[in-house]
Chains A and B, each alone.
Chain A
Amino acid sequence: MPYRAIYVIVLRDFKRFFRQRGRLVTTVARPLLWLFIVGMGLTKVIDVKAHGSYLQFMLPGVIGMTVLFSSIFSTISVVWDREFGFLREMLVSPVSRLTIVAGKLLAGTSLSLFQGAALLFVAPFIGLSMSITDMAVMVFLIALVSFSLTAFGLFIAARLTSLEGFNVIMNFIVLPMFFLSGALYPVENLPPVLRHLTLVNPLSYGVDSFKHIMLSRQTGALRAEFPLSLDIIIIGIFALVMTLLSSRAFERR
């Protein structure tokens, strides 16, 4: 294993992450804004008293959003590296393309996991009690979802040649993925077109798996909607396919 190369690729992404103040602040602020501004507002409008708290319902969704944004953003570094030439420094070194992909995947996954898992500490403040086991399972699930989305982001980033392209991806893939994932509302009663879109959205299953653990005592419309085993299988397959596709995308032309 070229562990030294992987180590230094991960180390670089970590250093860059913690050195960019703006990114760090956004990371902390974005989920809290959604949770406490959007969430609090909607709680007053949507009457879900019979089915539990909307704010509690939103937390798994916001974790999903955080992981999604973080995974996609961390792979933007590949586009950045290409634009500024640094990618060639890696491509011309003796490490294989697979090693580069492995390093990038590990870096993106750990950064997302760290950001997503940090939100678990919000749970007690909005009345969600979680056992140590629940926490451990959540960390596992967040890691799995982070991994699959980072692989997805890497696949996209490997094909993008400019940063403008990334904005398009952001608006036409990432935001719809978030809105149509069941993060903000249950997907069951959506109109057929939107419902089908949520069914092909891998993030839906990620968010659903979070709901299984965090909202296990929730009943009615706000509970998880698919079987947990289905969630895990679909995310697993998605992760595998994206890993293969992204390592192929780095082959030389």
Chain B
Amino acid sequence: MPVIEVRDLVKNYNGIAAVRGVSFSVEEGETFGFLGPNGAGKTTTINILCTLLSPTSGAARVNGYDCMTEPGRVRSSIGLVFQEVTLDNELTAYENLKFHCYLYNMTKTLTEKRIEEILDIVGLWERRNDFVKNFSGGMKRRLEIARGLLHRPRVLFLDEPTLGLDPQTRSRVWQFIGGLKKKEGNTVFMTTHYMDEAEVCDRIAFIDNGNIIACDTPGNLKNSLRGDTVYLKTDDDERAMEELSKKFALDAKRLSGAGLALVVESAEKVIPRILDGLTVGVKEVNLKKPSLDDVFLHLTGREIRDEDRENRK
């Protein structure tokens, strides 16, 4: 039986559709990624699965419980790490965790045991009596993930768990999540718009505009492109595009900023021919074996989000 089962899920906000009929299922022990640009409906879906929102129509089950009629049971069987920080800054790390344990009705002895265990794993035991407001972004994230795991949930939901963190901290958070998964064997459902992070998933669903446009393993998704991507920078992109389509029957896509991208079966053979045949001056050629970014570009004709790339540089 799948751990998460979603059928024809629809959510409208005041008549505007945020999620338009999404269906998928996640198996026990799987790491499942929801990928898409901001505003695609990732957080809305996660909020419905975590019973924070009621869907307009459709069905969702988590751990065999119905998200609409059995919210209490769903909530006690899941852990959730939100996009934004949801710790109490005025409490210490220990107090934040204790608050969580008591909300989940754990006994005092169990609370103390689990907190010690988990703080040890995330390397914050020494800082347990410090106020959270004095923590760095990375420490807060680690503490939140630790908190989400205190009650040993069967499914861990991670909504953009590395949003706003620097690249170093990001990779440490992922190492940490990977290690935990090995140890505890939970099912992980995550959303992200960082393509490289999605590579750790067993399966990925691309979501755009409230629809799932593809759902498969990262390997299969990349293979589905059947080819390499060639990036060109030319003196006149407009003319180059025309020539490519007329002379070579190649369908190039314009990139935001400058440059063209085209998918070809074998870049090694095509590049010399293009360079020979174009009358436009070529300033730069780049060749890339397919990545998830390219899959998204191929499926939607857009890059996942331009400003995020800027931010990351």
CB proximity to B under 8 Å, residues A75-105: 81, 84-86, 88-96
Q: Which residues of B contact A84 (CB under 8 A)?
A: 85-86, 88-89
| A12-B103 in contact given A88-B82, A253-B54 (Cβ < 8 Å) | no
A4, B102: Cβ atoms under 8 Å?
yes
B99 on the interface (CB 8 Å rule)? yes
B90, A96: Cβ atoms under 8 Å?
no
CB proximity to A under 8 Å, residues B48-67: 50-54
B130 on the interface (CB 8 Å rule)? no
CA distance A92 to B77 in the complex (A): 11
Give B78's nearest chain A residue, CB to CB.
A92
B102, A8: Cβ atoms under 8 Å?
yes
Q: Which residues of B contact A95 (CB under 8 A)?
A: 103
Q: Which residues of B contact A8 (CB under 8 A)?
A: 98-99, 102-103
Contact with A along B90-109 (1 / 0, CB 8 A): 11000100111011111000
A140 on the interface (CB 8 Å rule)? no
Total contacting residues, chain A, CB less than 8 A: 25
A127, chain B: closest CB distance, angstroms: 41
Q: Which residues of B contact A94 (CB under 8 A)?
A: 72-73, 75-76, 103-105
Q: Which residues of B contact A81 (CB under 8 A)?
A: 88
Q: Which residues of B contact A96 (CB under 8 A)?
A: 72
| A86-B104 in contact given A92-B50, A92-B80 (Cβ < 8 Å) | no
A4, B105: Cβ atoms under 8 Å?
yes
B157, chain A: closest CB distance, angstroms: 9
Q: Which of A15, A19, A88, A89 contacts B100 (CB 8 A)?
A: A89
B165 on the interface (CB 8 Å rule)? no
B122 on the interface (CB 8 Å rule)? no
Q: Which residues of B contact A7 (CB under 8 A)?
A: 102
Total contacting residues, chain B, CB less than 8 A: 30
A22 on the interface (CB 8 Å rule)? no
**Using a Cβ cutoff of 8 Å, how many contacts connect chains A and B?**
73
Give A7's nearest chain B residue, CB to CB.
B102
Q: Which of B73, B80, B88 contacts A86 (CB 8 A)?
A: B88
A135 on the interface (CB 8 Å rule)? no
Residue among B50, B88, B98 with most chain A CB within 10 A = B88
B87 on the interface (CB 8 Å rule)? yes
CA distance A20 to B91 in the complex (A): 12
CA distance A94 to B62 in the complex (A): 14
Q: Which of A16, A86, A88 contacts B52 (CB 8 A)?
A: A88
B53, A5: Cβ atoms under 8 Å?
no
Q: Which of B52, B75, B91, B103 contacts A15 (CB 8 A)?
A: B91
A217 on the interface (CB 8 Å rule)? no
Beyond contacts A15-B91, A86-B86, A92-B75: 19 other A-B pairs, Cβ-Cβ < 8 A, are: A2-B105, A4-B103, A4-B105, A5-B102, A7-B102, A8-B98, A8-B103, A12-B88, A16-B90, A84-B85, A84-B89, A85-B86, A89-B147, A92-B52, A94-B73, A252-B51, A252-B54, A253-B53, A253-B54
Binding site for A on B (CB under 8 A): 50-54, 71-73, 75-76, 80, 82, 84-91, 95, 98-100, 102-106, 147
